[in-house]
Structure 1
Amino acid sequence: METEQVLRRNQLYDGGQAAAVRCPRSSARLATKQAVMRYASSIVGCLTRSWTPAVERAGFKLFPVNAVHAAPRGTPSPCGPMDTDTVAFYCDDDRGIYLDWTQYIAKSADSQESSRVAVEYTMAHEYGHHLQATSGMSSAYDDRFFAAKSETARVAESRRNELQASCFAAAFFGANQKTLQVYGERLEDYEYHAFSGDDADAPATERGYGSPKTNRTWARAAFKAEGPGACNTWAAPAKQVS
């Protein structure tokens, strides 16, 4: 299948909504490495249960994420080390998610829910990259990225890729709004992460995640749709993925 077809007409878009599933919301304080990693792993399990029906309806086999690795800055991986500007990443080579758990420690009682939502959203975004790998879009993205003729063009490709992963995350949250209790302050915390993106004033060569306005638009559509059909960033005009 040609690169453009894999990205623009992927069967995943026709898989339907993510499933509403029971997602364990831990009451344990996220004050230690063990607590953060345990919660992150439980959310990945929830993501797998939620996404499996849609992925299988689209004709793909959803292999589980192999592991959620504790990865403070400098931790090596088959895809390179955790760098100083990254809190988490997905590695295609070993189907692993690498998480800098130190960024999610919450010492005070009143910051626990915010930290939990941060872990949930980060895992949902990285799982979005797992969905891209499962559906063949990651390889097709690599082809487009390395074929780009300039740094600006490469960042534009990266932006479509990251916006899609965030869009998949929003679809998961929409489908599981009740089970994850995404209301009130938890909804505000979710929207903080989902709508953030890059600095609105950043130049195009530094905007690899999209502007806040762009992130907000895609996230709202996916949250409402509850499925990947709202996340075809590859067919969108440039102004919609800025």
Structure 2
Amino acid sequence: MPPYAGRPGGQPQFGWGAPPGGPPRPPRKKGGGAKAVVVVLGVVALGGVGILGISNALKDDPYTTPSYAPTSYPPTHAPSQSPSMSPSVVVNSPTATRTTTRPTATRPTAPRTTSTPKPKPGPTDADLVLRNKVYKAGAMRSVNCRESRSRPSTVSGARANYANLLNCLNRSWPALLARSGARFRPPTVQSFSGTVSTPCGIGNDSGPPFYCGSNETIYMNLSEDLGNYNRYPQAYQKVWARMWMLHQFAHEYGHHVQNLTGILAANHRIRYEAPTRAKELEGSRRLELQASCFGDIFIGANRRSYPVTGQSLFQWRWLIRNWTDHNNDHGDGVNHQYWATRGFTSRNPNVCNTFVASAARVR
């Protein structure tokens, strides 16, 4: 039996690793926009090389494949009675006329029975991914989320950003989840450097951030976020590092939304039964691209207050397009940009149903 079989929530959903060389320069005012160089983002699309302890276990297991983006990572009736015949005879005298009365028949009464209604079958895995009620929950409203004033140049600064984003997302999703019939539970967030032990396996900071459904926890990679921010001196590169952290966190929260609505577990069961490795990978890409779409619903809904404008908007647009899916389990840059932009622009989960999209749209 493969690892995590029967425990779909026990698989990590990975994020992306930082693209080497840093973000693009800002566009020039004259002479055309800056050329965005497509950079290899790491082993996992948008960056994840995967959790070391888990990735080794996943090599021979088509079911336990990490999902990332930006991210990392269960009447019967009583028998009737015969009528009773009880004639009565009256004798008055020897000369009296014998009189008889007609027998009376008592009609049997059958016991009243009640039928127990059969319970309605629950939604199938196909229903959960293809026709989930979250797709009809409506557009997300802004909660006027503002970026933390702390910068991720230190551990405390990065954690302040995580706490701020968690608070904003916990205020943004409950209304939509309630309209979808799902029960909202806030996730836990844990930051780490070095290695971290989780119900989903051992994580390592050489890999991306990830989400573990078993304990509903988002694991953010401090080493990655601090490194991205402190590695580059230019102001625009620090803006890129902040947008990267925002997108990674929102993507992982997107996996939490999938978990609460039943999409995450249903997708894992479908992938477990996939007839081929290619189909299993396609299922992973549909899950990951949707998580980014969900994440960017939040970013789009709060783009004015955060804000995601000017240089921040430029860097966000660059990073959603420029990454490479080495493991073929997260989708290519073109498709990631397509789904991320749909979420950002519409702010409505109805545009994030990657499970009804053509195979070409989730390559």
Report the residue type matching 2:330 in the other structure.
Y
Is the Cα–Cα contact under 8 Å of residues 170 and 194 in structure 1 kept in the other structure?
Answer: no
Is the Cα–Cα contact under 8 Å of residues 158 and 222 in structure 2 kept in the other structure?
Answer: yes
Corresponding residue for 1:228? 349
Corresponding residue for 2:245? 119
Q: Please state how far the C-alpha of 1:74 moved relative to its aligned partner.
A: 2.5
Query: Comparing both structures, which one devotes a greater share of its residues to helix?
Result: 1
Question: 1:110-161: CA deviations, max 9, x gaps?
Answer: 2443222222111100000000001000110110111123322221111000
Residues 230, 223 of structure 1: alpha-carbon distance in 2 compared, 3 angstrom cutoff: same
Is the Cα–Cα contact under 8 Å of residues 290 and 352 in structure 2 kept in the other structure?
Answer: yes
Is the Cα–Cα contact under 8 Å of residues 30 and 112 in structure 1 kept in the other structure?
Answer: no
Q: What SS class does the counterpart of residue 177 from structure 1 fall into?
A: coil
Q: Please state how far the C-alpha of 1:64 moved relative to its aligned partner.
A: 0.5
Corresponding residue for 2:315? 189
Shifted more, 25-34 versus 177-186: the winner is 25-34
How many residues align structurally?
A: 236
Mapped to 2, the partners of 1:43 and 1:15 lie a distance apart of: 22
The residue correspondences of 1:21-32 to structure 2 (distance < 5 A) are 21-32=143-154
Q: Which runs of 5+ in 2 are unaligned?
A: 1-122
Report the residue type matching 2:160 in the other structure.
R
Mapped to 1, the partners of 2:152 and 2:238 lie a distance apart of: 7
Q: Please state how far the C-alpha of 1:214 moved relative to its aligned partner.
A: 0.7
Does 2:202 match 1:81? yes
Question: 1:44-69: CA deviations, max 9, x gaps?
Answer: 1101111111111112121101x211
Is the radius of gyration larger for structure 1 or structure 2?
2
RMSD: 1.7
- 2:157 counterpart (24, 35, 44): 35
Report the residue type matching 2:183 in the other structure.
K
Q: Please state how far the C-alpha of 1:84 moved relative to its aligned partner.
A: 6.0
Mapped to 2, the partners of 1:238 and 1:209 lie a distance apart of: 13
Corresponding residue for 2:336? 215
* TM-score, L = length of structure 2: 0.62
The residue correspondences of 1:6-155 to structure 2 (distance < 5 A) are 6-65=128-187, 67-83=188-204, 86-105=207-226, 106-107=229-230, 108=233, 110=235, 111-155=237-281
Is the Cα–Cα contact under 8 Å of residues 198 and 209 in structure 1 kept in the other structure?
Answer: no
Mapped to 1, the partners of 2:319 and 2:295 lie a distance apart of: 11
Mapped to 2, the partners of 1:85 and 1:2 lie a distance apart of: 38
Report the residue type matching 1:33 in the other structure.
V
* TM-score, L = length of structure 1: 0.91
Mapped to 2, the partners of 1:22 and 1:181 lie a distance apart of: 9
Q: What SS class does the counterpart of residue 102 from structure 1 fall into?
A: helix
Mapped to 1, the partners of 2:182 and 2:278 lie a distance apart of: 33
Q: Which runs of 5+ in 1 are unaligned?
A: none
Question: 1:1-43: CA deviations, max 9, x gaps?
Answer: 1111110000000011112012231222311112112211210
Mapped to 2, the partners of 1:2 and 1:196 lie a distance apart of: 36
Residues 90, 57 of structure 1: alpha-carbon distance in 2 compared, 3 angstrom cutoff: same
Question: 1:87-113: CA deviations, max 9, x gaps?
Answer: 211111111100111111123472443
Q: What SS class does the counterpart of residue 81 from structure 1 fall into?
A: strand
